[in-house]
Structure 1
Amino acid sequence: MPSGFRSDERAVEGMPIRLLVAVTVGVAAFGLLVPMADQVEQADRTELTVEPEPRQVTVEPGDTATVRLDVATSDGQPVRAATLVVTGRSVSVENGPLIFETGANSTVSFDIGASPTADVRLSFRPQQSHGTVQLRIVPPSNSEYVDDLSNPDLTVRRTG
C-alpha cells in the first residue's frame, strides 16, 4: 500500500467518496442548467410573421395578380430590411426560389401567375387547379428578430 499522496498511483479508487459524489452532482447540475440558460437567451427574441394580401389569389392562364406581403412582429410592429424567400410548396415556382427585401414601409409587392411577365412564375401540373407558395422570412442582420414559427402560405387558384 502506498505511503503518501504523491506516491498513490490509484485512479478513481483512491479518491475520497465525498469528492467523487460532489463532482458527479456538479456535472449533472451543469448538464441541466446549460439548456435552461439557452432558453433564457431566446426569450428576448421577437417573432416575425408575414401577412399576404390577399391570402388567396386567382389567376387565369397567361395572366398575373399582384400580391402584397407585410412583414411585422407578432404584436404588429412593421419590420424594415427583412428578406422574404418565396418558394413553391404544392405548385412549382419556375424562376425560384425568389428573394425580396422589405423597404421603408416593411412591404414587398410582386406579380404572381403563369405568365412569362410575372415576377413569380408558377408552373401548375396538368389537371392542377390550385397550389400553395411558401413564404419564409430572414430577419434583418444584427437584430433581435427570429422566424421560428411557420408563416401562412399563399394559395393560388388557376382558372380555365
Structure 2
Amino acid sequence: MFDTTSDASRSDRSFLADSRAIEGLPVRLVIALVVGVASLSVMMGMIGSIDGLVATELDAQPQPEVTTPGSQAIDVAVVDPDGTRVSDATVIVRSGSARIDGVATARTDGDGIATVDIDPELGPNQSDGTLSIEIKPPAGSDYVDERENTSVLVVED
C-alpha cells in the first residue's frame, strides 16, 4: 500500500532541490535582533531610574562669590540638586587664574558649610582672576562631584 522508501527519497530530493530553505532566516534574525535591542534599552532605562543606582551631583555655593586679594575666609555651602546642604564633605579651593599658595581645604559642618581660609593674589597687570572649588563627597555616600562648580572671582580693589 505505502512505499515508504520512495516517499523518503522523494522528500530528500525536494529538500535538496529547494533553494529557498534559508530565505526567511536572515529576516527572522534581523527582527529578533531589533526586538532584543529595543527590549534591552527599555530595561536599562528602568534600571537607571532606580534611586539606589543613581549618583547625586553636588554643587558649591561660595559666599562671597566675588572677593579681593588678601587674607580672608570664605564660606562654601555644599548642596545637592534639591538645595539640601550636605555635611561631612571636603571643600578644596585651588588656584585658577588667581593664585593661592598650595590648596586650601575645609570640611562642611552639620549645616553643610565649610569655612576656607584663603590668601588670593593677582599677577602683575592682572585686574581679576578666579579660584576653583572642588568637592570630595562624604565617604560611603551616593554623591559625586563631576561637573564644574561655581568659581570665586578675585578682583583688584
TM over 0.5: yes
Q: Is the 2:65–2:151 contact (alpha carbons within 8 Å) kept by the matching residues of 1?
A: yes
Whether 2:74 is the aligned partner of 1:67: answer: yes
Q: Comparing both structures, which one devotes a greater share of its residues to helix?
A: 2
- CA gap of 1:99–1:14, structure 2 versus 1, over 3 A, is farther
Q: Write out aligned runs for 1:1-160 (5 A).
A: 16-17=25-26, 19-29=28-38, 32-33=41-42, 36-37=45-46, 39-41=48-50, 45-59=55-69, 63-96=70-103, 98-113=104-119, 122-159=120-157
Question: Separation in 1 of the partners of 2:125 and 2:131?
Answer: 18
Q: Is the 1:58–1:65 contact (alpha carbons within 8 Å) kept by the matching residues of 2?
A: no
Q: Comparing both structures, which one devotes a greater share of its residues to strand?
A: 1
Question: Separation in 2 of the partners of 1:35 and 1:128?
Answer: 50
> What is the root-mean-square deviation of aligned Cα atoms in Å?
3.1
Structure 1 unmatched runs, 5+: 4-12, 114-121
How far the C-alpha of 1:88 sits from its partner, in A, is 2.0
Larger radius of gyration: 2
With the length of structure 1 as denominator, give the TM-score of the two structures: 0.65
Instruction: Kindly provide the CA deviation profile for residues 100-139 of structure 1, in whole angstroms up to 9, marking residues without a partner as x.
Output: 32133322112222xxxxxxxx342211122111112222
Identity %: 26
Residue identity matched to 2:112: S
With the length of structure 2 as denominator, give the TM-score of the two structures: 0.66
